[in-house]
Amino acid sequence: MKLVSYLREESDQLAILVEGQLYNTQELHPDLPNNMGMFLMMWEDVIDIAIKADADLKAGKHPGSAKGISVESVQLLSPVPFPTSCRDGYAFRQHVAAARRNRKVDMIPEFDQYPIFYFTNHNAIQGPGDIHCMPDHFDKLDFELEAAIVICKAGRNITAAEADDYIGGFMIMNDMSARTLQMEEMKLNLGPAKGKDFSTVVGPMLVTPDELESFLIPAKPGHTGNNYNLKMTCKVNGIQVSEGNMGDMDWTFAEIVERCAYGVNILPGDIIGSGTVGTGCFLELNGTGKLNDPNYTEQWLQPGDVVEMEIDGLGTLTNTIVQEDTDFSILALKKNV
């Protein structure tokens, strides 16, 4: 099942997507909530009803009073417009190893010992469309090609063996990054925070695990949880710059959820990202390019750039970089010492 949130009369409307048509949930069945927040809160009570409605739609039946609306005719929001939190993991060894190699430091052994994550600004979650950036963001503005999950039921101290049952669905994630802000703050051994708090993009839809069963592959040796053979790409202005595969995750989402939930309540609506796939950002690509050729010309995102991310089965997430009409700079506020 593919779930979409879109703007309807100044509010977020939940719909099921079938063959390019959106069907409002509350019109499919009176017990289905009309927004993603309530749908996730009521997940165990409503998921079977929604799956039945989805199956009917795919069979050419139109349950309830639902009428299709072209997905091209609406403004898509984040599939989860108001997440309860947003964490981002660090699951792809290839990306971590390449980034460290490019900095001429050894691979950190702790990567293979336990999965890690950081919290980012869940109020800056957005869906397809414009990404508004301040002047300082354009000082090495970057994308990060990732996948993400949303939690569909509350839990605590969840083991990896049971964690896949807490995953409501999968989305594309673009963890936007202002690298100069990020690198400056991390010198103080905190962050990333200000370099990443302005926009995290997810979408264009939430795809439930049953849609992806044909893509299931074994987890890496010594790891636990579902893994999926899903090609991942990113294009900037129509030119492909990144390619990877969700199946290359060394730490599974189940293992990341296990760590997230240790001694902590995870809640319906929590978003958790995978971390960057190998080759999945300009920071890594530029570092590799300069390592191989000192004259390599770095590339960073610019005003007007169009970023398109695609993951097999999860759709295409498209955003345009927009420059705010201001010259206000927090980098300029730095004290001289």
d(CA 299, CA 140): 8
Mean pLDDT confidence for 105-120? 95
Per-residue CA distances from 96 to 241, 290, 318 (Å): 18, 17, 26
Portion of the chain with pLDDT greater than 70, in percent = 100
d(CA 283, CA 179): 8
d(CA 266, CA 152): 9
CATH 3.20.20.210 holds for 85-323: no
Give the list of residues 6+ apart from residue 98 with CB closer than 8 angstroms, or none.
Answer: 278, 279, 284, 287, 288
Would the pTM of this model clear 0.95, i.e. be above it? yes
Tokens of 41: 């809160």
Residue 229 near residue 115 (C-beta atoms within 8 A): no
> Where in the chain is CATH 3.90.850.10?
85-323
The mean of the pLDDT values for the chain is 97
Mean pLDDT confidence for 1-29? 97
Does 162 score more than 90 pLDDT? yes
pLDDT digits (tens, 9 = 90+) for 265-297: 999 999 999 999 999 999 999 999 999 999 999
d(CA 56, CA 50): 10
Per-residue CA distances from 337 to 169, 184, 321 (Å): 49, 15, 35
d(CA 131, CA 304): 10
- In this prediction, residue 72 has a pLDDT band, given cuts at 50, 70 and 90, of very high
Residue 248 near residue 277 (C-beta atoms within 8 A): yes
Task: Please tell me the predicted confidence (pLDDT) of residue 62.
Answer: 85
Interior CA angle at 88 toward 83 and 94, to 5°? 150
> Is residue 254 left, alpha or beta, with left meaning phi > 0 and alpha meaning psi from -120 to 50?
alpha
d(CA 75, CA 124): 17
Q: What is the residue type of 2?
A: K
Task: Please tell me the predicted confidence (pLDDT) of residue 63.
Answer: 84
Portion of the chain with pLDDT greater than 90, in percent = 96
d(CA 177, CA 185): 13
